Amino acid sequence: MSLFYYTFIPIVIAFIAYFLNKKIKLSLAILNSVVFAYLFYQISRLYNQWNIPHETISYYMFDREIQLIFQLTPLSWLFIFMTTGAGLLIAIFTIKSQQEYVLRSSFHLNFAILIGSILGVVLAGDFLTLFIFWEIMTWSSFFLISSGKKKAAQKASYRYIILSTIGAYLMVTALFIIYNQIHTFGYNQVAAHLSGLPITESIILIIMLAIPFIIKAGVFPFHVWVNGAHSNAPKEFSPFLSGLMLKVGIYGVILLLYFVPLYNILKESVNYRGLPIFNYILAIFGGITVITGTILAIRQEDVKRLVAFSSISQMGYIIMALAISTPLGFTGGLLHLMNHMIFKTTIFLSIAAVIYRTKTTKMSEMGGLIFKMPVTFTAYLIAIIALAGIPPTNGFISKWVIYQALIDKGYIFLSVAAFFGSIGSFMYVFKPLSTIFLGQLKPEHENIKEVPFLMQLPMFVLMALILLFGILPGLQMNLINQISQLLNIQPVGFTLYSITGAFGKWNSLVIFSLFVGGFLLAFIIFISAKKSKQVGLMDTYTSGEYMDDPEAYHYAYQYFRPFDRVFDSFAARSLTVIYDTFAQNIVKLGNLFRKSIVTGNGQTYAFYMVLFIVILAFAGWII
Amino acid sequence: MVNLILIIALPLLAAFLIPLFNYINKKLPSIVVFLTTAINLLIIILNYNQIILEPVIIELGNWQAPFAINIYVGTLELISITVISIISLIIAFYNLNHSNFSSESKFHTLYSIIIAGIYGIVMTGDIFNLFVFIEITTVAAYGLTTFNKDKGYEAAIKYIIIGSISSVFLLMAIGFTYSAVGSLNMAVIAAASNLIDPGLVRIISLLFFVGIAFEAGILPLSIWVPDVHSIAPSAVSSTLSGLVFLAGITALIKIFFNLFADPSLYVFLMIIGAISLIIGELIAYQQDDIKRMLAYSSIAQMSLVLTIISVGTKYAISGGLFQLFNHAILKTLLFLTAGLMIKYAGSRNISDLGGIAKRIPLIAVGFSVGSLGILGVPFFNGFVSKIMIVNGSLNAGEYILTFLVLFATVIEMAYYLKVIQTIFFGKISINPHKIVKSYVPIIVLITVVFLLGIYPELITKPLNQATGELLSRSDYISNVLGGM
């Protein structure tokens, strides 16, 4: 099947299904799922067919035929596989959960267009195609975020799209400056041309090309949109936003640095501690992102904002690992990219399930749901074990490789940031676990049931993947080594169940067997011990005292207050304020113009005309 | 090969016969106007292929140029009149029974006259004829503005004041030119422009600029635009915003590129356009009245077109012209849908239009398509023109200009998105009024938008030819003055 169709089938089906949805309810969601399943299947068959020829479409512009090129590489295969996989899981999840939604059909329409455009971005073979699909992706995600139920959704999506568009316009300016010199948009030609330019000019152009991707990835100082977008987007879209949209920015960074490859040009520039200055600054920003995201996440009371900040800090990990440009770093970054998508989607899906049942996102208003929603609890538990980086889950492996990479090169600040992020991440993921699932059940949640099977199915799949990749990392390493070979990076040694790091090998099979052995031992002891007596929850908690209001004893609000107090002054200085002030000043300028120029008085207008002539005449038109 | 003069003559004839038709049947005027615009489109289609091959010149009264008034239709004029005829047809269809004034014959008379005037401005080859047609257009516009009973007179008075001052300047310019060259024919003036005293040329060009730019949407000469375009009925607003501005910019281009091609003046045009663009966008953001916001957006787009065209290179001019034509189509769509939304909600304020997209989905989608087109989303027609504009200005090395254009686009995004978010995702807060929903114009315009977005070569191929003609004055002169 032609590569071009991967991009257009979702979009076309979306429109057809949108009109169909008016007649038959639910058809849109089911049609979406079917289409994504089909695409997923086709894409998995494309594995290892790296020699598919490029496809071009001719578009007549600028007085000549422009070729829009589509190509398939291992790197793009990874992303389209992840995209359609995540899209499929979310489409299945939303069959049930979107039923009571306002503008529900527009959600599916925009979601399908979004998937199509991400496929287009990743399959693009030249910069113009990339830009076209990048814009479509930004716009469809804008409409998706706007359709959230909260009032703040409008402002959040506004901020998102304006920031994204500023980045995209910087890229288009740089792109056309280059185009006017070489009259083509292809990756290789652009790279060849940039290496021929003087070094400062090429660095400025590279920075302008890279900024939209860095903005989309949510790296400091552009992380201001992530928070608002995540917490206000519809709850079914947040997993995708965290899991994939941020990653597309990372794809762009990998594309520019290694695929094009602009790294060779950057190497010629100023080097600091073995890295080009651009990479070093990017890595430092990654480290700052990790720390900022972690500290801000710990303070949040709203569970979606918490997970949003957590995504920001994990993106910081990936950027750090990619920016340091070592084989281990690259491998670690890509591993974390894949693993983060899996476990973050799981976390978001379980939280979406909880929100679906309890209709609130404030953690202090929930509690004790462990017995009511056991599947959701298990999914969340396994996902946070992965996020914290504990074996035998996949999150441990990616974090381990990143630590090895950082320590191997001796970057102290970055390693400290990484460790701080790890410890902090355990704090902030434990908070929702304890406040939502453990603790006391609120009276209004007495009748909550588990979510429907269609919503549980994605969670099962993802849980299985977390454990599978934790035990057999070789499955992922196979693909990653192919990507490394494509990008001329030295591959990292691996077998099906072990990875070779800088200081030794990680053998996951051994560790997993140890875990299973330990678990079995504990289970045997539990079974063979005397049967325990069932006691009411509050009896042990209050040592037999009588109380009538158990929910007042649910420890949930300001969970980590002592820790937060340390960072209060830091968190008070928000970067968002700077952006907002800048925007407000522009608005004030417009207000000034309006009040001074548009007076509403006809005589003043006549005066303007004469004044105009006089000014122009003396400014040089006549004199 | 039908005589192109019919394009101007038929609407005028229809306009003066409408009172008679009105006497026979009240519905007849609107149908007559619709038929006239349809016949115009037919005439243009019949002549299309011939004009692409070679510009058509028609001498009125069979007198030779330079003694007679002649009509010159080159490629640029051809594309303009095609776009004008399609849009005027759609607006005439809308006027059949969706406008508030569909049953008033005076409305249709004036509409017919303004269409004739617009065609005249674009097609004429004689500068005094240009003045006459500008006056016809403006007087008809004065009349059309007053159809809104509460504020129409105030807006029309401001329009008249500025219009009169501008026509004085225009008349002065024509007077100076005539005295210097001895002929009113554009080609003769173009041929003789090197012989006129350079100082006088600059004075004349400044006076021409002031005289025509008020009709073309450049601040501060177009300060009447927000009042007039927001007060007028939506069919009139789309004609004024889309078509009259198109004609005005075309006339300006012909004067500054064919008549007095003085490259040192282009810097002035660029600076005026850039300042007008930024001010227009910033003020548009402040507006709460949706039609006023659209009017400021029109001013900003026209200034953008002027700025880009004054860069002077082939790529920039074709980008600017394509943006001009796209704007005509998109602004019509925007004004028609905005007018319907205002009628539905009973209020002009954006904050009152919350959530109405659920009730009138097609109209809301039409508005969104129009705004996304102006913003330049891929696969809409505005994307191609925006890319061509960026390419053109970077090609000429104007980095600051590119930055200003993109900055203006970001501000544009801010206010258009505000409206889109309100109508789709806001809360419904009004009591809906009953309106006659008109779907055909909206669907036709949306189709045209996407068609141009996917096949821009429908316009860009002729446009390249037009730009080539524009940049080579000698061809123009030799075409018209042929035998001399």
Picking from A164, A173, A215 by the largest number of B CB atoms within 10 A of its own CB, the best residue to mutate is: A173
Residue A446 in this model has a pLDDT that exceeds 50 = yes
pLDDT recorded at residue B482:
65
Q: Distance between alpha carbon A552 and the CA centroid of its chain, in Å?
A: 36
Residues of B in contact with A589 (CB under 8 A): 282
Q: Are the CB atoms for B335 and B403 separated by under 8 Å? A: no
pLDDT mean across residues, chain A: 82
Partners of B390 on chain A (C-beta within 8 Å) are: 172-173, 176
Secondary structure (3-state) at A603: helix
pLDDT above 70 (res A23) = no
B457 touches chain A (CB under 8 A): yes
B295 touches chain A (CB under 8 A): no
Q: Are strands A275-276 and A271-272 parallel, antiparallel or unpaired?
A: antiparallel
In whole angstroms, give the CA distance from residue B389 to residue B412: 16
Does A359 or B382 have the greater pLDDT score?
Answer: B382
pLDDT at residue A562 above 60?
Answer: yes
State the pLDDT at residue B193: 82
Min Cα–Cα distance to chain B from A132, Å: 6
Q: Which of B353, B329, B327 is nearest to B339 (CA)?
A: B353
Q: By the CB < 8 Å criterion, does B27 face chain A?
A: no
Residue numbers in B near A169 (CB within 8 A): 406, 409-410
- B71/chain A closest Cα distance in angstroms: 29
For testing contact with chain A, the best of B269, B318, B387, B463 (most A CBs within 10 A): B387
Query: Which chain A positions have a beta carbon within 8 Å of B425's beta carbon?
Result: 103, 146-147, 153-154
Q: What is the pLDDT of residues B337-377, one digit of tens each?
A: 998 888 888 888 888 888 888 788 888 889 999 999 999 89
Torsion, Cα B227 B231 B234 B240, to 10 degrees, reads -40
pLDDT tens for each residue of chain B, 484 residues long: 567 888 888 999 999 998 888 888 888 888 888 999 999 999 888 888 888 887 777 777 766 666 778 888 888 899 999 999 999 999 999 988 777 777 788 889 999 999 999 999 999 888 899 999 999 999 999 999 888 877 888 888 989 999 999 999 999 999 999 998 888 888 888 888 888 888 888 888 889 999 998 888 888 888 889 989 888 888 888 999 889 999 999 999 988 888 887 888 888 899 999 999 999 999 999 888 999 999 999 999 999 999 999 998 888 999 999 999 999 999 999 999 998 888 888 888 888 888 888 788 888 889 999 999 999 898 898 998 999 999 999 988 888 999 999 999 999 999 999 899 888 887 787 777 877 777 888 999 999 999 988 888 888 888 888 888 888 877 777 777 764 4
User: DSSP string covering B96-117, please?
Assistant: HHTSTTTT-HHHHHHHHHHHHH
Write the residue in B223, B281, B413 that is nearest to A165 by C-beta.
B413
- Is B279–A621 a contact, with Cβ atoms under 8 angstroms apart? no
Nearest to B111 by CA among B291, B243, B5, B3: B243
Residues from chain B contacting residue A109 (CB–CB below 8 Å): none
Determine whether the interchain pair A63/B406 forms a contact, defined as Cβ–Cβ distance below 8 Å: no
Find the residue in A nearest to B468 (Cα). Answer: A63
Shortest CA gap B401–chain A (Å): 11
Distance CA B27, CA B105 (A): 9
pLDDT tens sequence across B376-385: 898 898 998 9
Of the partner residues B210, B265, B409, the one whose CB lies closest to the CB of residue A609: B210
Structure tokens at B69: 């008034």
| Cβ separation B413–A177 shorter than 8 A | no
Domain ranges across chain A: 1-125, 126-516, 577-619
List the beta bridge partners of residue A328. Answer: none
B379 at interface of A, judged by CB pairs closer than 8 A: yes
Which segment of A151-165, A473-487, B403-417 scores lowest on mean pLDDT?
A: A473-487
Cβ pair A590:B203 closer than 8 A: no
Distance from CA of A176 to the nearest CA of B (A): 6
Nearest 5°: the CA angle A280, A284, A288 is 170
The residue segments making up the domain with residue B36 are: 6-481
Q: Alpha-carbon distance B68 to B64, whole Å?
A: 6
Predicted confidence band at A103 (pLDDT cuts at 50, 70, 90)? low
Nearest Cβ partner for A162 among B272, B391, B410: B410
Q: Which residue of A has its CA nearest to B226?
A: A598
Rounded CA-CA distance A251/B4 in Å is: 57
Q: How far is B185 from chain A (nearest CA, A)?
A: 24
pTM of the shown model: 0.90
The pLDDT of residue A623:
62
Cα gap A592→A586, rounded to integer Å: 10
The pLDDT score that the predictor gives to residue B361 is 84
Per-position DSSP letters for A203-214, written without gaps between them:
HHHHHHHHHHHH
Using CA atoms of B213, B218, B220, B221 in order, give the dihedral in degrees to the nearest 10. Answer: 20
The pLDDT, as a whole number, for residue B138 is 93
pLDDT one-digit tens code per residue, A367-417: 778 888 888 888 999 998 888 888 778 888 888 888 888 888 888 888 899
**Per the CB < 8 Å rule, is B460 touching A173?**
no
Q: State the average pLDDT over residues A494-517.
A: 76
* Domain annotation covers residue B1: no
Question: In A, which residues are within 8 Å of B210 by CB distance?
Answer: 609, 612-613
Range of weakest confidence among A189-193, A568-572, B86-90: A568-572
* CA of A441 vs chain B CAs: smallest distance (Å): 34
Q: What angle do CA B323, B33, B462 make, to 5 degrees?
A: 30
pLDDT at A102 over 60: no
pLDDT tens string A229-267: 888 888 778 888 887 888 888 888 888 887 766 777 777
Cβ atoms of B424 and B364 within 8 Å: the answer is: yes
Q: How many CB pairs under 8 A join A and B?
A: 150
The set of residues, in sequence order, having a beta carbon less than 8 Å from that of A463 and lying 6+ positions away, is A346, A378, A379, A382, A383
The C-alpha of B262 sits at a distance from chain A's nearest C-alpha, in angstroms, of 11
Longest CA–CA span in chain B (Å) reads 69
Asked if residues B336 and B444 have their Cβ atoms less than 8 Å apart, the reply is: no
Q: Which residue has the tokens 């609890």?
A: A377
Residues from chain A contacting residue B395 (CB–CB below 8 Å):
176, 180
- Testing the interface with A: which of B212, B368, B388, B394 to mutate, by most A Cβ within 10 A? B394
Cα–Cα distance, A383 to A361 (Å, whole number) = 19
- Cα separation of A24 and A26, whole Å? 7
pLDDT at B484: 45
**Is B458 in CB contact (< 8 Å) with chain A?**
no
| Chain B residue with Cα closest to A182 | B395
**Least Cα separation, residue B294 to chain A (angstroms):** 15
From A169's Cα to the closest Cα of chain B, the distance in A is 7
Interface contact B413-A620, CB threshold 8 A: no
* Pick among B166, B221, B223 to test the A interface (most A CBs inside 10 A): B223
pLDDT tens digits, A278-309: 888 888 999 999 998 888 888 888 888 888 88
CA distance A333 to B22: 77
Cβ contact (<8 Å) for A589 and B461?
no
Give the SS3 label for residue B46.
helix
With CB atoms and an 8 Å threshold, state whether A60 touches B457: yes
From the CA of B377, how many Å to the nearest CA of chain A? 7
**Domains: count for chain B:** 1
Q: Which residues of B, range 156-175, sit inside 8 Å of A by Cβ?
A: 157-158, 161-162, 165-166, 169
ipTM over cut 0.85: yes
* Mutation for testing the A interface, residue in B221, B421, B422 having most A CBs under 10 Å: B421
Q: How far is A142 from chain B (nearest CA, A)?
A: 10
- Within 223-252 of B, beta carbons closer than 8 Å to A belong to 223-224, 226-227
Residue of chain A nearest B204, judged by CA positions: A622
How far off is chain B from A351, nearest CA to CA, in Å? Answer: 24
> Hey, is the C-beta of B182 within 8 angstroms of any chain A C-beta?
no
| Window from A444-458, A514-528, B78-92, B123-137 with minimum mean pLDDT | A444-458
Q: What is the pLDDT of residue B102?
A: 73
Compute the distance between CA of residue A43 and CA of residue A24 in angstroms, rounded to an integer.
29
Rg (alpha carbons) of chain B, rounded to whole number: 21
State the best of B283, B289, B411 to mutate against chain A, taking most chain A CBs within 10 Å: B283
Least CB–CB distance from B378: residue in A132, A161, A602 = A132
